[in-house]
Chains A and B, each alone.
Chain A
Amino acid sequence: MTQTQATPEQLNGVNVAALLGAREALENAPEAAEFTWKATSEWQNGAHTRMEMNGFFGLGEEHARNKTFAIDSDHPEVFAATDVAPTPVEIVLAGLAGCLTAGIASVAENRGIKLRSVKASLEGDMNLYGILGVDSNVRNGFRAVRVRYDIDADASEEDIAALVAQSQKRSAVFDIITNPTNVFVTVA
């Protein structure tokens, strides 16, 4: 697409060769493509909960990282909570931003487009009548989510729009938010 595509060094810090290699390898080993992502959580106090993430299953085996990642969630003061951490719904928006932006970087790398800056602002609209049980016709979750990207790159407006579109097409979190998922909650 551009001359930079031929150069071996990475434009955006994404190892596209490894990703494409993985795709080819997994096509011939469908069972290795089955991943299970995991998180644990423990209630702290009030609305404050701590989530931890380390292991995941994939490529036919369990993986443990060197480090356990933690995210806290809470509710804001207007909800009469301690507000020591973002609300879970903000973490969902953050997850969407992280997923789409990683996708943009990968697609740009693959298309030989150097990114200078990729910024997103996200908004999710919610009517509290849902979670408060005031009106059963109002859903608990987002009525709509808006993501606005501001991207500075060596590419035309159309090529940048195509990056963002392709990233949505391949995004896990975009799919999780836009499509129904069966959720099974049990008590040990």
Chain B
Amino acid sequence: MRDISTLIIGAGQAGLAMSHCLSQRSVEHVLLERGQVANSWSTERWDSLRLLTPNWQSRLPGFAYTGDQPDGYRNMAQTVDFLASYAQQITAPVETDTRVLSVEPMANGYMVRTDRGDWTCRSVVIATGACNIANVPSCAADLPAGVTSMTPLEYRNPAQLSDGNVLVVGASATGVQLASELRRSGRQVTLATGEHVRAPRTYRGRDIKWWMDQTGILDMTLAEVDDIKRARGVPSLQLIGSPTKETISLNALQAIGVQIAGRVMGMTETDVQFSGSLPNVCSLADLKMNRLLKQIDEWIETHASNEMIEPSYRLRNTIVPKDPLLRLNLKQAGIETVIWATGFKPDYSWLNVPVLTPRGELRHDGGVVDAPGMYVLGLPFLRRRKSSLIDGVGDDARDLATHLSAYLNGTLAAAA
């Protein structure tokens, strides 16, 4: 049994950023990592994936991109290399290949059991990520025999699938990217979409993420939004990090032959049923995108009116099929695979501390978990809109490291 002041569970960007911030405050700590640094990036992503954010937009505490392609998008190998370099530079004390089996409360701290020995500690930082488990709706259980059900965590490339056609459910970043790749592999693809967030890759000559950074949209804090639950539930933008800076959208997908349909609402013995709300979810996404572009326009007007910037424009509204699909007979449509790109959730099955809501979410206030000395980071809108980005976790780590060290020093009240 080893004892330490603080244990960080997970050595991805969140755990590493926290490690650096704790080292700066001389808080003795160790990171427990089930695999190697950046494990999820290296083992749970599909082959063609590149980050949605440009290379420059990965500023971590004490580390940043220094390569010669600031506007490019890292593939997964490059992402893993980047985080491994960070771990090396900050000499993060990572115990690799160490899986946490359970965390239990004990007097004045926690007991953390791993498959390589047990620890006691006063403080725990949960940095295991927001995407451990793929959400799959219950109707997936009713898929007819002969249709393979797959999640994005299992998907690697089109060659892995049978030759048949594909239904992709969900049109956030994951769903649109997989629909595009599978369509280009020669399969007929149907893409079912509920509410989604549309955005162009570039606008007025710059990456959309650059504008969101410049305008302060990504820096928005919890105090600046009126509905936190809604802000935390906003799906990922329909973006792809491609070397050609391609804009991926329902229009672009339809142009290459992807058929779009409404949200999946149910399953009969033979058919998938789609919602008739497709026109409205497209309209909501167009309106929301235009509000974002307007916000950028207004920022330019105020802050950069003298600069030479492309004039304002709007993208064509989403083209909704004249008679959107309401039912699809899977067999008749030759669909052999259904991919559930319907979001992810964290896995807290190892956490034996009463801090979960009935819905299985952590009870926390901006990352300060509802248990003494326990923290979480890396979740969507934890403290800021950018909280779940590599570029955004650093500010959260700084804030929470301040809180954590005050907790350990017994000066929390003074710090607050």
Take A158-B290, A180-B265, A180-B273 as given contacts and tell me if A144 and B323 are in contact as well, using a CB distance cutoff of 8 Å. Answer: yes
Q: Is the CB of A180 within 8 A of B266?
A: yes
Interface size on B, residues (CB 8 A): 15
Q: Does A162 have its Cβ within 8 Å of any Cβ on chain B?
A: yes
Q: Is the CB of B277 within 8 A of A165?
A: no
Q: How far is the CA of A27 from the CA of B275 in the complex (A)?
A: 26
Query: Which residues of B (291-343) have their CB < 8 Å from a CB of A?
Result: 291, 323
Q: Does A137 have its Cβ within 8 Å of any Cβ on chain B?
A: no
Q: Which residues of B contact A87 (CB under 8 A)?
A: none
Q: Is the CB of A179 within 8 A of B283?
A: no
Q: Is the CB of B266 within 8 A of A161?
A: no
Take A178-B262, A179-B265, A180-B266 as given contacts and tell me if A161 and B276 are in contact as well, using a CB distance cutoff of 8 Å. Answer: no
Query: Which residues of A (143-177) have their CB < 8 Å from a CB of B?
Result: 144, 158, 161-162, 165-166, 168-169, 174-175, 177
Binary flags per residue of B260-297, CB closer than 8 Å to A gives 1, else 0: 00100110000001011100100110010011000000
Taking chain B's interface residues, is the majority helix, strand, or loop, or is none over half, making it mixed?
A: mixed
Query: Which residues of A (102-116) have their CB < 8 Å from a CB of B?
Result: none
B-side residues, CB < 8 A to A, are 195, 262, 265-266, 273, 275-277, 280, 283-284, 287, 290-291, 323
Give the interface size bracket for A toward B: 10 to 19
Q: Is the CB of B276 within 8 A of A179?
A: yes
Q: Is the CB of B276 within 8 A of A178?
A: yes
Q: Which residues of A contact B275 (CB under 8 A)?
A: 178-179
Q: Is the CB of A169 within 8 A of B276?
A: no
Closest 7 CB pairs of A and B: A178-B276, A168-B280, A179-B265, A178-B277, A165-B284, A165-B283, A162-B287
Question: In the complex, how many angstroms separate the beta carbon of B152 from the nearest chain A beta carbon?
Answer: 25
Q: Which of A158, A174, A175, A178 contacts B287 (CB 8 A)?
A: A158
Q: Which residues of A contact B265 (CB under 8 A)?
A: 179-180
Q: How far is the CA of A49 from the CA of B153 in the complex (A)?
A: 55
Q: Is the CB of A168 within 8 A of B273?
A: no
Q: Is the CB of A161 within 8 A of B287?
A: yes
Q: How far is the CA of A168 from the CA of B265 in the complex (A)?
A: 17
Q: Is the CB of A177 within 8 A of B276?
A: yes
Query: Which residues of A (42-57) have their CB < 8 Å from a CB of B?
Result: none
Q: How far is the CA of A43 from the CA of B287 in the complex (A)?
A: 46
Nearest CB to that of A178 among chain B residues?
A: B276
Q: Which residues of B contact A144 (CB under 8 A)?
A: 323
